[in-house]
Amino acid sequence: MRPSKRQADELRPIRFTRGYTRHAEGSVLVEFGDTRVLVTASVEESVPPFLRGKGQGWLTAEYGMLPRATHTRSAREAAKGKQSGRTQEIQRLIGRSLRAVVDMAALGERQITIDCDVLQADGGTRTAAITGACVAVHDALSQLVAKGLLAANPMKDFVAAVSVGIYRGVPVLDLDYPEDSDCETDMNVVMTGSGGLVEVQGTAEGAPFSRAELDALLGLAENGIARLIELQKAALAGASA
Amino acid sequence: MRPSKRQADELRPIRFTRGYTRHAEGSVLVEFGDTRVLVTASVEESVPPFLRGKGQGWLTAEYGMLPRATHTRSAREAAKGKQSGRTQEIQRLIGRSLRAVVDMAALGERQITIDCDVLQADGGTRTAAITGACVAVHDALSQLVAKGLLAANPMKDFVAAVSVGIYRGVPVLDLDYPEDSDCETDMNVVMTGSGGLVEVQGTAEGAPFSRAELDALLGLAENGIARLIELQKAALAGASA
Amino acid sequence: MRPSKRQADELRPIRFTRGYTRHAEGSVLVEFGDTRVLVTASVEESVPPFLRGKGQGWLTAEYGMLPRATHTRSAREAAKGKQSGRTQEIQRLIGRSLRAVVDMAALGERQITIDCDVLQADGGTRTAAITGACVAVHDALSQLVAKGLLAANPMKDFVAAVSVGIYRGVPVLDLDYPEDSDCETDMNVVMTGSGGLVEVQGTAEGAPFSRAELDALLGLAENGIARLIELQKAALAGASA
Amino acid sequence: MRPSKRQADELRPIRFTRGYTRHAEGSVLVEFGDTRVLVTASVEESVPPFLRGKGQGWLTAEYGMLPRATHTRSAREAAKGKQSGRTQEIQRLIGRSLRAVVDMAALGERQITIDCDVLQADGGTRTAAITGACVAVHDALSQLVAKGLLAANPMKDFVAAVSVGIYRGVPVLDLDYPEDSDCETDMNVVMTGSGGLVEVQGTAEGAPFSRAELDALLGLAENGIARLIELQKAALAGASA
Amino acid sequence: MRPSKRQADELRPIRFTRGYTRHAEGSVLVEFGDTRVLVTASVEESVPPFLRGKGQGWLTAEYGMLPRATHTRSAREAAKGKQSGRTQEIQRLIGRSLRAVVDMAALGERQITIDCDVLQADGGTRTAAITGACVAVHDALSQLVAKGLLAANPMKDFVAAVSVGIYRGVPVLDLDYPEDSDCETDMNVVMTGSGGLVEVQGTAEGAPFSRAELDALLGLAENGIARLIELQKAALAGASA
Amino acid sequence: MRPSKRQADELRPIRFTRGYTRHAEGSVLVEFGDTRVLVTASVEESVPPFLRGKGQGWLTAEYGMLPRATHTRSAREAAKGKQSGRTQEIQRLIGRSLRAVVDMAALGERQITIDCDVLQADGGTRTAAITGACVAVHDALSQLVAKGLLAANPMKDFVAAVSVGIYRGVPVLDLDYPEDSDCETDMNVVMTGSGGLVEVQGTAEGAPFSRAELDALLGLAENGIARLIELQKAALAGASA
């Protein structure tokens, strides 16, 4: 039995609060249970040098964890003067995931910067960040449409992410911290609304895992992501931010 | 007239949300109007090397601004690899302000680390941070009492801070961003519950200011801080975090 | 047809040169076609602070690319003063992969540091590094046995890695640079001699990929890795380094 | 009684040596007793990017302390690779103080960089630096006039700074190190020749201070600064550097 | 007697392997006995800002040591985030040595970057690097001639370097690590094919050295460098890389 | 003829001001003409970790140039966050030079840190620094003797340094900036009172130099250093600092 009493294929309570802060073009507080990530999408009317004059846009992401988002305080990266390897890995993943669903040519010479800041951590911060970023980027792009800067929203599809893992021998969906810190295999899956895989990252923490286990985990993730995308759509169908 | 229609001596709506996140010993979201700062107080059962074996505690503070807390996105300090001079100045001020009201000998060989992270900025982030930190530190210390680690709360007095300034020739209390970016003189005042001054930092942005203006600003600040301390007490009198 | 004329399931010529340099306990030049990585395994008779006194060992990895290992010169990371996110991601992957096959308790309070330096790059440097590291670590551990410091080699299994990807619509094994820079989906797979998966990292570079494509890629990788492990065993069966 | 036997309202011996080094447009060794700061003002015929084309100048300041300016050697900031928060706070203060008395439009698109390097420290290094910088900047600007690059000296007023504090219960002027390290309240005041306040920074080191104490300190500072400005004028009236 | 049994005036076996890697315009593995340095020369069709529009080229060098090139592993400079003083000293020396023999005007607005990476160290890495760089730069420049970008090779002369030292009272040529770590005086000499001195750097490790000793060392170095230049010429006379 | 009208073998006016600042155990302002370097020697009663318990001392040096010591302002290294290669090269040279004349065993487990800060530069800052450091270290060590911490001064010999170079075809002694920036060959020589060579660093800036030129330069340097050491002795014979 899972520490949270959830079923093996049960997500934590998911919540999207759009318009959580007021300055960003898109601003969403995403909650996967006790994991709370503030995701903003900022639009800048220019692109990095390597893309200038190519008629297409760019999207990049940054990730941070407030020092006391975690059980024990961790050092502030700005004070240490460098971002950890983990942070860099996560922000690269978020950027790739969102770039997979935005039509860069349709975006034009603009850059979207996604900032994902973890206010409270309870496992799955990167998957919550990707899932929330989809909503925040959608809002930011809708604002460009509303302002008449774009004819149509250049988001081609939805994208969401979830973690799956083998906890005490059982494949489970959406690991929280007690599960994450005690599981044998941990996998993050990023998938689009049309069911295409964008990223699959599976790691054996202890014993290696088998193809059969991999298949079971992918099955759980597919269902979980389909449900997350329904929730994203419902959130976006609400009053605009 | 002030852009916000406030009276010259009127604070913005002030709100303290205790227990805003769950891991920190003290966790408060403090709001001065649209300025929102998440302040956590973390307790560590050790002190920095220069204090070891001296039988007293220490308190330090860190400050950060989420990249899109502001009107236009500012670069993430962790990504730039260094904290700005402004950030360092603010976190030193917060630390000094709180050390003024905590009895370090009574605290014993423990360290309190205050983290102030600005979720949304609309002027006065440092004064909101100090004012919220007083509540967060009080909660963290109360928890040490509740756990039996301390006999009494070592906070000797309350402390709060407010900005005052001369806006279009008129001394006003608690500047918001439109005022702050357009005022002639800006002063931050930190004061205790018993009316003692902890810090006074006044800066002429344009023309120098006179002693008479300084006196008027200090008068506004004294009243404002007295009101803030009433609100801190009311917040702490509510259900514990 | 592949640029190199290889079959879809054909590895590049693989070569392990043991004892390539003389100071390291294990030193292997591994070649996957024109990709050449010098891998050394260094033994240190101590562990990092977080493991002291716990009776177990540690293994960590670092990765670097000589500035002109690539078609155009890339800046030297030591001169820039920081390792890129890509470098950090790769060295974390190499470390996890090798830790999966070394019995840390049997190793005792020692640390193995793997250095992977790319002398010439033609795609697949991280998979070559992992595959070569297995041989280098085996040699380093054998030397501990030979010196009487360990009763048996604490490597529990072999481990190797290969890239697979969908190139012009066809799943292919062991991508070289021309394929890698032009493929739709890229996956790195790390597997043990007994067929267990250690890491699976698949990324859609363009369009998302389907479960069927994922399955095809995993099949190719399994066969490729089985072949790589045969070659590792053959290399280790040769005259000792 | 003060350790130096000075009266409560007595400055230390003040000395300005103009033309102390020969390359800088303005170069002054300023001494407040045993505190000795070498201040140079350098003129550059360009402005930072944010001011280009706006027809106005800029003035900025940097501050450093030689490692053995102090009783015990402190680490060299260039070797540590970063400037401390204290250093940054001081250099920001010096820059603001001098900008308050230079007419940036009259200066034209030029930048003045003030370098304040403490050769020997005995308390009050920042106030000595500001006071000396006024003379050095005046000399640098006079040189622009002498060269025919400016019609008139764009310095609108004099500016000087002094520390005041409550030492053993008594408000005193111009603290030296023994007083500074043992005082209850420490305030730095920056004022112009016409008596306007530019900066007031008061800090309670121990017990908070009252409005009455603040008033007494400001009174001392006003007199001290008036005297410093007389001395600046006398120094500038001497043979040109 | 020398640990290696060599005569006092005997070089170690010297080997140049041209075309050691395939991407760089010049790529040479140079071996001085067990010291092995991979030297690449990269051509870039632009010059640093300070030379733009001056019609001349530039040549610069970088140096690194693989972490386990040495007896015990040394920390990776990219991971430490800075290059040591020793590294910077060596790369400045290599750059100056090669600039002495390349006609910068004839090179035109191009930059040659030399990368010297020590794969295995046994003393004399900087002298091997300079000696190998001469061959690598020659190859890179020949390629520019072959491509028709230059009419003639702008290398005006050969340059090579060797270490000499006083080992157990005897002046010896080309110190290996056991000699280097135990010698009284160590000197690096850089000389051209026409016998001109480019650099002489002698250091007393223990007792100071006399003019007579200096003369003896310079005599050994002259002969050694003449022999190295013969070997460079022979290497370049071989089949082109 | 030399720009300064000096004879080819003539030093600039040399001056040592002992006790230039008051906190350091040794503090000397050394002047070689217009080159002015403040050298302090600080004593610390401990040694770096690699020497602990070995019963011997250590001596190290740091070097810095005030930003406006030079004709045009150069960036502050503390603000840039790193020391240049040139700075590191110089401070390593100063440290080696002084270690050559201090008996580390006689010093005991203490560290001497030399700080050389250039107040005004006119060529030859590193040689002035070494020459002044000899006096400063002597004073610092004498103070240890005076305090009864050492039985005798552990300085075994004097050491001084001077630059020599070929300026417009003529070998000259003690180059000033106009000569230094326009000479063909530049050599720094460090020598002891008993005439032993500690360091010889000669660099061809333009055309290589011959053995005959090298010999002429060494001859000039020997005489110049003998004179500098007389001046050091005279300075130390004056009233103690």
How close does chain C come to E210, measured CA to CA in Å?
36
Q: How confident is the model at residue B1 (pLDDT cuts 50, 70, 90)?
A: confident
Residues of F in contact with D78 (CB under 8 A): 64, 76-78, 82-83, 87
pLDDT in tens, E188-205: 999 999 999 999 999 998
Tell me what pLDDT residue F205 has. 81
Chain B CB within 8 Å of residue A4 CB:
no
Residue B176 has pLDDT above 60, yes or no: yes
Quick check: E81 and C76 CB within 8 A? no
Q: Which residues contact E207 (CB under 8 A, 6 or more apart)?
A: E184, F196
Residues of D in contact with B187 (CB under 8 A): 200
**Residue B125 parent element (H or E):** helix B125-146
Annotated binding-site residue? B211: no
Q: Which of C51, C26, C27, C38 is nearest to C153 (CA)?
A: C26
**Nearest CB partner across the interface for E115, out of C22, C38, C68:** C68
Name the token pair of E200. 């002489």
Nearest residue in chain D measured CA to CA from B206: D100
Chain B CB within 8 Å of residue D197 CB:
yes
pLDDT in tens, A27-79: 999 999 999 999 999 999 999 988 999 999 999 999 999 999 999 999 999 99
Residues of E in contact with F201 (CB under 8 A): 199-202
Nearest residue in chain F measured CA to CA from D24: F68
Task: State mean pLDDT over B38-60.
Answer: 94
Residues of A in contact with B88 (CB under 8 A): none
Q: Tell me how far apart the alpha carbons of residues D66 and F112 are, in angstroms, rounded to a whole number.
A: 16
Q: Which residues contact A103 (CB under 8 A, 6 or more apart)?
A: A154, A155, A156
Quick check: A21 and B68 CB within 8 A? yes
Quick check: B73 and A42 CB within 8 A? yes
Nearest residue in chain F measured CA to CA from E219: F211
Nearest residue in chain B measured CA to CA from A73: B42
Name the phi and psi angles at E239, rounded to 5.
Answer: -50, 140
pLDDT in tens, D14-49: 999 999 999 999 999 999 999 999 999 999 999 998
- Torsion over CA: A192, A196, A201, A205 (sign): positive
Quick check: E85 and F100 CB within 8 A? no
Q: Tell me how far apart the alpha carbons of residues D165 and D189 are, in angstroms, rounded to a whole number.
A: 11
Choose from E62, E186, E192, E211 for mutation: most chain F CBs within 10 A. Answer: E211
Residue B241 has pLDDT above 60, yes or no: no
Q: How confident is the model at residue D238 (pLDDT cuts 50, 70, 90)?
A: confident
CA terminus-to-terminus distance, chain F: 39
Ranges of H-type helices in chain D: 77-80, 85-99, 104-107, 125-146, 177-180, 211-237
How close does chain B come to D222, measured CA to CA in Å?
10
Give the 3-state secondary structure percentages of chain A, helix then strand then coil, rounded to 5: 35, 30, 35
ipTM for this prediction:
0.94
The architecture of the domain spanning F14-77+84-237 is 2-Layer Sandwich (3.30)
Residues of D in contact with F68 (CB under 8 A): 21, 23-24, 27, 40, 42, 115
Quick check: F200 and E200 CB within 8 A? yes
pLDDT in tens, D150-198: 999 999 999 999 999 999 999 999 999 999 998 989 999 999 999 999 9
Choose from E29, E37, E71, E76 for mutation: most chain C CBs within 10 A. Answer: E76
Nearest residue in chain A measured CA to CA from C196: A208
Please state, for a pLDDT cut of 90, what percent of chain E lies above it: 93
Tell me what pLDDT residue B240 has. 58
pLDDT in tens, A178-221: 999 999 899 999 999 999 999 999 999 888 999 999 999 999 99
Chain D CB within 8 Å of residue B61 CB:
no
Tell me what pLDDT residue A206 has. 80
User: Which 98-137 residues of chain C touch chain A by CB within 8 A?
Assistant: 100
Residue C206 has pLDDT above 90, yes or no: no
Nearest residue in chain F measured CA to CA from D111: F73
Q: Which of E49, E1, E10 is nearest to E32 (CA)?
A: E10
- Domain layout of chain C by residue ranges: 14-77+84-237
**Cα F39 from chain centre:** 9
Quick check: D202 and B200 CB within 8 A? yes
**Nearest CB partner across the interface for E214, out of F192, F197, F203:** F197
Quick check: B62 and A67 CB within 8 A? yes
How close does chain E come to F194, measured CA to CA in Å?
9
Residue B52 has pLDDT above 60, yes or no: yes
If phi over 0 gives left and psi between -120 and 50 gives alpha, with beta otherwise, what is residue C89?
Answer: alpha
Nearest residue in chain E measured CA to CA from F219: E211
How close does chain D come to F138, measured CA to CA in Å?
17
Residues of D in contact with F119 (CB under 8 A): 21, 38, 119
Tell me what pLDDT residue D169 has. 92
How close does chain A come to B14, measured CA to CA in Å?
17
Q: Which residues contact B237 (CB under 8 A, 6 or more apart)?
A: none
Name the token pair of E77. 């400079």
Residue E241 has pLDDT above 60, yes or no: no
Q: Tell me how far apart the alpha carbons of residues F78 and D84 are, in angstroms, rounded to a whole number.
A: 10
Chain B CB within 8 Å of residue A44 CB:
yes
Give me the residue label for tokens 């000296």.
D153
Q: In what order do the strands lie in the sheet with E26-32?
A: E14-18, E26-32, E35-44, E111-120, E58-65
**Nearest CB partner across the interface for D42, out of F42, F68, F79:** F68
Tell me what pLDDT residue C88 has. 94
Q: Which residues contact B62 (CB under 8 A, 6 or more apart)?
A: A67, A76, A79, B91, B113, B114, B115, B116
pLDDT in tens, F80-118: 988 999 999 999 999 999 999 999 999 999 999 999 999
Q: Which of D226, D107, D123 is nearest to D175 (CA)?
A: D123
**Residue F28 parent element (H or E):** strand F26-32
Quick check: F115 and D67 CB within 8 A? yes
Tell me what pLDDT residue D240 has. 59
Residue F241 has pLDDT above 70, yes or no: no
- Calculated CA dihedral for residues B219, B224, B225, B227, nearest 10 degrees: 130
**Nearest CB partner across the interface for D204, out of B197, B202, B204:** B197
Residue C239 has pLDDT above 80, yes or no: no
CA terminus-to-terminus distance, chain B: 39
Quick check: A208 and C201 CB within 8 A? no
Task: State mean pLDDT over F43-50.
Answer: 92
Chain A CB within 8 Å of residue C82 CB:
yes
Residues of D in contact with F117 (CB under 8 A): 66, 117
**Nearest CB partner across the interface for D85, out of B88, B187, B207:** B88
Choose from B20, B23, B116 for mutation: most chain A CBs within 10 A. Answer: B23
Q: In what order do the strands lie in the sheet with C197-204?
A: A170-173, A159-167, A185-192, A197-204, C197-204, C185-192, C159-167, C170-173
Residues of B in contact with A42 (CB under 8 A): 67-68, 73
Tell me what pLDDT residue E66 has. 98
Residues of F in contact with E196 (CB under 8 A): 204, 207-210
Quick check: C36 and E23 CB within 8 A? no
Q: How confident is the model at residue E240 (pLDDT cuts 50, 70, 90)?
A: low
DSSP result, B126-163 = HHHHHHHHHHHHHHHHHHHHHTTS-SS--B-S-EEEEE
Name the token pair of E228. 């190295």
Helix (H, G, I), strand (E, B) or coil at F122: coil
Annotated binding-site residue? C17: no
Residue B7 has pLDDT above 90, yes or no: yes
Residue C240 has pLDDT above 70, yes or no: no
How close does chain E come to F239, measured CA to CA in Å?
31
**Nearest CB partner across the interface for E34, out of C22, C64, C77:** C22
Residues of A in contact with C61 (CB under 8 A): none
Number of neighbouring beta carbons within 10 Å of residue E147: 10
For Cα atoms F102, F104, F105, give the angle at the middle one, nearest 5 degrees. Answer: 135
The half-sphere exposure of C105 on its side-chain side, counting CA atoms within 13 A, is 0
pLDDT in tens, D194-210: 999 999 999 998 889 99
Across the D:F interface, residue pairs with CB atoms under 8 Å apart total 95
Chain E CB within 8 Å of residue C211 CB:
no
Tell me what pLDDT residue F240 has. 59
Residue A241 has pLDDT above 60, yes or no: no
Average pLDDT score over chain E: 96
